[in-house]
Amino acid sequence: MINFQYARANDVVDAIRQITGDPNAKFIAGGTNLIDLMKMDVERPTKVVDITRLALKQVENTPSGGLRIGALVRNTDLAYHPLVGERYPVLASAIMAGASQQLRNMASTGGNLLQRTRCPYFYDTAMPCNKREPGSGCFAIEGHNRMHAILGGSDACIATHPSDMCVALAMLDAKVHVSSASNDRVIAFADFHRLPGDTPQRDTNLSAGEIITAVELPPKGFATNYTYLKIRDRLSYAFALVSVAVGLQLDGDTIKEGRFALGGVAHKPWRDSQAEAALRGQPANATTFFRAADVLLHDAKGYAHNTFKIDLARRCIARALTQAARGTPQLQSSKKIA
């Protein structure tokens, strides 16, 4: 039995006050990841600050024509929000590809960004894991690494980030709004999650004492030519082996702008500016798509059980770009229950 203190925050200032100066305190939102980690003895917060009553549940237009999503907007509410469906359907699609309806009903926007890896050794306290216990080693590198990274890994960790929503947010160039006792700041999505390097215990660049208050989407949503393609071992309720979020802006058959982000392949959603440059001004066809995939996967590295992911990612990128170009996005299995 591990004791911890439970406290409820009234507002953002109160939440920050309750966590500041206590490195072992944690916020709790939907609890769908943190509670599991506590039950498995991976996370041992001495204090849990419940933020579910904070006024961070709005989805609002921004003056610049974008969308501001409060950190406590539930995944289901976000996926079914009319402004998201109309202007950012790739985000709705990515959310609906994740977890289960019950989990999406509980999970929050901020919590989704901060969910931890699904590497089995991270969850097994009997095994060495540099992310859970820095310096203990990485069992996955020589172990069962079928779900692990093919890009951006290090000798210390080859875990992947498990989120679907974050892959779409990366493609959309979202920003993360955070607050602390000393200031408010905005973090570009590309700078929010970290690569493991020699500090795999740090998943993000969020500092101690900071709370996520919102995620902001810029005006451009690629609502006509988009897709979120997720390949997994089961059709639902499974994490991605490889996923791809695509947004294209076309001029006839020519690509004016093309973006794509990958999930399931790295410690963070993976984008490559050179691969996207390989799309610009090119005809929207298979030759272009495979060329861009090859640029992105140039430095990909497989391990004993996941080398198949390199070719899988290549084909997923080409298929997702084809779906987006044709305006026939991947349908997700979960539909709204009226």
Question: Footprint of ligand SF4 on this chain (CB under 6 A)?
Answer: 117, 119, 121-122, 129-131, 138-140, 157-159, 200
Nearest distance from residue 309's CB to ligand SF4, in Å? Answer: 14
Interacting residues toward ligand FAD by CB under 6 A: 26-34, 36, 51, 71, 98-99, 103, 106-108, 110-112, 114-115, 162-165, 211-212, 239
Residue 253 burial (C-beta neighbours within 10 Å; 0-12, 13-18, 19+)? exposed
Residue 99: name its binding partner from ligand FAD, ligand SF4, none (Cβ under 5 to 8 Å by kind).
ligand FAD
When the beta carbons of 248 and 262 are compared against ligand SF4, the nearer one is 262
Residue 31: name its binding partner from ligand SF4, ligand FAD, none (Cβ under 5 to 8 Å by kind).
ligand FAD
Residue 29: name its binding partner from ligand SF4, ligand FAD, none (Cβ under 5 to 8 Å by kind).
ligand FAD
> Parallel, antiparallel, or unpaired for β 25-28 and 47-50?
parallel
When the beta carbons of 127 and 297 are compared against ligand SF4, the nearer one is 127
Q: From the CB of residue 85, how many other CB atoms can be counted at a distance below 10 Å?
A: 15
When the beta carbons of 74 and 131 are compared against ligand SF4, the nearer one is 131
Nearest distance from residue 251's CB to ligand FAD, in Å? Answer: 33
Q: From the CB of residue 113, how many other CB atoms can be counted at a distance below 10 Å?
A: 23
When the beta carbons of 52 and 154 are compared against ligand FAD, the nearer one is 52
Polymer length in residues for the chain: 338
The pair of structure tokens assigned to 153 is: 């890994």
When the beta carbons of 154 and 285 are compared against ligand SF4, the nearer one is 154
DSSP state of 283: B
Strand ranges inside the chain, DSSP E: 5-8, 25-28, 47-50, 59-61, 67-70, 175-179, 184-188, 211-217, 226-231, 242-251, 254-263
Query: How many CA within 13 A on the CB side of residue 175?
Result: 15
The pair of structure tokens assigned to 68 is: 């501001």
Residue 13 carries which side chain, given as an amino acid letter?
V
Residue 164: name its binding partner from ligand FAD, ligand SF4, none (Cβ under 5 to 8 Å by kind).
ligand FAD
When the beta carbons of 68 and 131 are compared against ligand SF4, the nearer one is 131
Residue 162: name its binding partner from ligand SF4, ligand FAD, none (Cβ under 5 to 8 Å by kind).
ligand FAD
